[in-house]
Structure formats: structure tokens, C-alpha cells
Amino acid sequence: MRAFLEGLPKAELHLHIEGSLEPELMFELAERNRVRLPYASVEEARAAYDFSDLQSFLDLYYRGMSVLRSAEDFHDLAMDYFRRAHAEGVVHVEMHFDPQAHLARGVDLEVVMEGLSLARRQAERELGMSTALIMAFLRDRPAEEAMRVLECAAPYWEMLDAVGLDSAERGNPPEKFVEVFQRARLLGLPRVAHAGEEGPPEYIRQALDRLGVCRIDHGVRCLEDPALVARLREEGVVLTVCPLSNVRLRVVERMADHPLPQLLEAGLRVTLNSDDPAYFGGGMLDNYLACFEAFGWSEEIFVQLAGTAIEAAFVSDERRLALHRQLAASA
């Protein structure tokens, strides 16, 4: 099964590129940029990757990204992940990035976009990998700040495939960002949002009704609301589920407790993703393998999951058809 899952062409729809920063690269970039880290070694940094909840993870996440200063740094960050993902059979990656977290550190949006764009072109050229870029707003920051960032990104609107909403969910409902997402809609940008991870099912409903999102990132708490489950099924809304992330952040205690089987049994459209692979115990292959070990799923279920991701990806019709053909050949 490992060989089958490794060879399965996988599309990743829920990845935070800053969350792919492995300790080894963190130390390399810290030395390059003369940034002092609060860890004496790579091993000590890796040992710190132990969280009690989403907020404790975010504290470390923002500390780690302090080493990202130049376009070269963002390029190296993305290419480091693209190469690892390619080796695991990933053929398409959609990466969230958090401009507010970088602007707050004095890193201009131009720097971030230059580095990520260079890496995207290199990944397509050298790895045959397609990519998409999702500019995410930090929901624990003011909506007015998110609107300013969206407007400041005008030179890059054509380079964005979607906008998203992430960071600390509790107490930060989607409806806080209605005007920002309305503006994105007028710009022709697709919208996605984290909802129903730590927040209640109502946040999923708000993301759909108030923000007009086409996908829900996480969404696992939808099962608490049968009417919402029925709606998600009827409307074919895709959930970008991140199983290892859910375990590490204590959304569930063990993989065996994960609601993924119930989501599939309810007829929902589900995909598997890594979220922040450097911090949560592995990339796409590890998440697929963890599901196999916990649920004993057949090859057919994994093909279904991979196919759903391809269908929901921000790609051209031509690329989507090519990925579907690749998936059919592997199955």
C-alpha cells in the first residue's frame, strides 16, 4: 500500500508554505540572515514542535518565520517543500501564504511574491508540478488591515488563484471579513476559508453564506450539525481535511478517533492535506499512510480522495484533464 500511495498522483489543496519550514532550513536561513533563534540546535527546535492547541502552535509558527527576510529565502522555502512533495507523488500544490505576518516584520509583499513566483516557475519547469497561490488573511487581526493588504496587492492580483482566511479561529467568526471577501469576489478571486476546526459548525455556515467560499478548509466539526452536513452534501462543497494536523493540535486525540470515515459515509466531498507539514508530523504521503493505518481504507477510496482534490483544484481545464488521466493510469 505504501508503494501504491506514493505512486498515486496527489493534489494538495491545503498547505501553509510558512508551515513547511523544516528546522534544518530554519537554521540555514537564520545563519544567512544573522537571526538569533531561541534554540541551540536543530534537535532542540524539533523537540519544541509539541503543541497543546492551535494557539500554542501559532506562537512557534510565527517565531519560525522570522528567518524569512529576502526573496531568496521565500524561494528556498517553497522549493524545499516542492522537492519533498514531488518525491512523495504530489503533482499539484496550492499554498496559502500570510502577507500580514511578513508585513508586520518589515518584509514587503514584493519580496514574498518575487520569491514564491520564482519557485513556482522552477517547480513547473524542473518537476512538472503545477501550483496555485492563496493569499490568506489572519482572522485574529482587524478586517480593515486585511482590506488594506488586499488593495496593496493590486500589482499581484493576476498572480493570485484565491484568497483565504486562517489563523486563530476561536472568537474570530468569518462574518468579520464580509467586506474583504466581497471585494475579492468583485476582483474575480475565488474564496476559501478555515472553518470548523476549533470553531463551531456555525462558522462553516457563515463562511458559505457570508463569504461565498467555494471550499472549506478543515470543516471536521460539521458533523455536529446534521442540517449542515446535508447542505454540504447537496451543494458538493469540498472539505480540505488535514488528519495529522488535527491530531497534533488536539482537534482529535488519536487518528483512530478522526471523523474522516464518518465524513465519507455522509457522502461529503473530502480531500487529504498536510496543512503545516514541518510541524505536524509529515507531508502528503504521511497523511495518506496514517489514514490507511487507522482506517484500513482500500485503494479505491484513496483514488476517490485524490480525484476529488484534482476536481476541486485551482487549475486550467487542460491541466485538470491531464491530472485525471494520470490518476486513471496509476489506478
**Which residue among the candidates 12, 197, 224, 265 is catalytic per the annotation?**
197
Read off the pLDDT band of 60 (50, 70, 90): confident
Cell numbers 474583504 label which residue?
180
CA distance 134 to 155: 15
C-alpha cell at 68: 524569512
Joined together, the cell numbers standing for residue 103 give 508585513
**Is pLDDT of 21 > 90?**
yes
Q: Summarize the confidence of residues 225-231 as an average pLDDT.
A: 98
pTM of the entire structure?
A: 0.96
Domains and CATH numbers, the chain: 2-330 (3.20.20.140)
**How do residues 238-285 score in pLDDT, each as one tens digit?**
999 999 999 999 999 999 999 999 999 999 999 999 999 999 989 999
| Whole-number pLDDT of residue 118 | 98
pLDDT, the chain, mean: 96
Is residue 253 part of the annotated active site? The answer reads no
Percent over 90 (pLDDT), the chain? 92
User: Using CA atoms, how far apart are residues 129 and 152, in angstroms rounded to an integer?
Assistant: 29
Predicted confidence at residue 281, as pLDDT, reads 87
Between CA 19 and CA 138 the distance in angstroms is: 14
The tens digit of pLDDT for each residue in 96-109 reads 999 999 999 999 99
Could you tell me the pLDDT band of residue 48, with boundaries at 50, 70 and 90? confident
State the SS3 of the chain: CHHHHHHCCEEEEEEEHHHHCCHHHHHHHHHHHCCCCCCCCHHHHHHCCCCCCHHHHHHHHHHHHHHCCCHHHHHHHHHHHHHHHHHCCEEEEEEEECHHHHHCCCCCHHHHHHHHHHHHHHHHHHHCCEEEEEEEEECCCCHHHHHHHHHHCHHHHHHCCEEEEECCCCCCCHHHHHHHHHHHHHCCCCEEEEECCCCCHHHHHHHHHCCCCCEEEECHHHHHCHHHHHHHHHHCCEEEECHHHHHHCCCCCCHHHCCHHHHHHCCCEEEECCECHHHHCCCHHHHHHHHHHHHCCCHHHHHHHHHHHHHHCCCCHHHHHHHHHHHHHHC
